A = this chain, B = another copy of it.
Amino acid sequence: MVINVDVEFLARDAARAARRGDLVIVIDVLRCSSTIVTALANGAKAIIPVKTLKEARRERLNKPDYILAGERGGLKPRGFDLGNSPLEYTSERISGKVIVLTTTSGTRALIYSRGARWILVGSLLNAEAVARAAYSIARSEDIGVTIVQSGTNGRFSLEDFICAGAIVSKLPEGNIKLSDSAQASLLAFRYAKNNLRAILMESAHSRRLIDLGFSRDIEFSCQMDYFRVVPIYDGNVIVRGDFRAGLEGT
């Protein structure tokens, strides 16, 4: 049995992956998926991704222990508790809380993925953990794996491509068949891996975030395999998946 591994470049392509019946790994390195991984690693109970600011506010209504979080144009919307910087999601602030999250690209990719049987959230921070979890589910369910890059404003993003390659590089060898885009991401990751931070700092979205004062977020998000958390999304909420099998630890 061979597992087909594909990479899609844009949030909206998640729908195609879902139609193929694939397990989907949604990535948005800067910064939505890095934030989700960090939030769950630091004890958040669940994350509810929503599309609009209005939906976010409605979701939180009369729920005092919910946290309103996200960004528009990279910045924390008015009246929100947290922005989209993983560094804000300390255990002091979010442990045991439910986070209602709305971002520009990552949230869209999650919502486009909704038809898929399995939706995991990947980032450089949990590349190996998510790769192993995806492989083990795909093998037992006999389905393919598609890594979906959220992109930036509907355009291809370098940091998500490198992250896709990082996840591909962590898949167990043998019995996997890489699509052309998966191979391409792996080649680029192999060239970039010893110089990740400097290369990712050159992406269009990084330059924008640096201008906005968020360069520490990029540095943080470049730390490969910093966490072993695998977020799993059931179409409503994202929680910490329990994929201890095959992982050295969580």
| Copies of this chain in its oligomeric complex | 2
Indicate if the CB atoms of B184 and A161 lie closer than 8 Å.
yes
Q: Which of B9, B187, B203 contacts A183 (CB 8 A)?
A: B203
A3 within 8 A of B: no
Instruction: Give the docked Cα–Cα distance between A162 and B203 (Å).
Output: 19
A236 at the B interface (CB under 8 A): no
Stretch of A17-25, A115-123, A150-158 on the interface side: A150-158
Contact of A180 among B155, B180, B181, B191 (CB under 8 A): B155
Which residue on B lies nearest to A159, using beta carbons? B180
Would you call A204 an interface residue if the criterion is a C-beta within 8 Å of the partner chain's C-beta atoms? yes
Asked whether, in the complex, the Cβ of A156 is within 8 Å of the Cβ of B184, the reply is: yes
Interface of A, secondary structure class, is helix
Q: Does A242 contact B (CB under 8 A)?
A: no
Contact with B along A156-180 (1 / 0, CB 8 A): 1110011000000000000000011
On whether the beta carbons of A204 and B179 are closer than 8 Å, the reply is yes
Question: Do B183 and A202 touch across chains, with their CB atoms under 8 A apart?
Answer: yes
Cβ-based interface call for A192 (8 A): yes
CB of A114 within 8 A of chain B? no
List residues of chain B with CB within 8 A of the CB of A183: 158, 199, 202-203
Q: Which residue of chain B has the shortest Cβ distance to A177 in the bound complex?
A: B204
A188 proximal to B (CB < 8 A):
yes
In the bound complex, residues from chain B placing their C-beta under 8 Å from that of A180 are 152, 155-158, 161, 203-205
Q: Does A190 contact B (CB under 8 A)?
A: yes
30 contacts between A and B (CB under 8 A): A9-B9, A9-B156, A152-B180, A156-B180, A156-B181, A156-B184, A158-B180, A158-B181, A158-B183, A158-B184, A161-B180, A161-B184, A162-B184, A162-B187, A179-B204, A180-B203, A180-B204, A180-B205, A183-B199, A183-B202, A183-B203, A184-B188, A187-B187, A187-B188, A187-B191, A187-B192, A187-B199, A188-B188, A188-B191, A190-B191
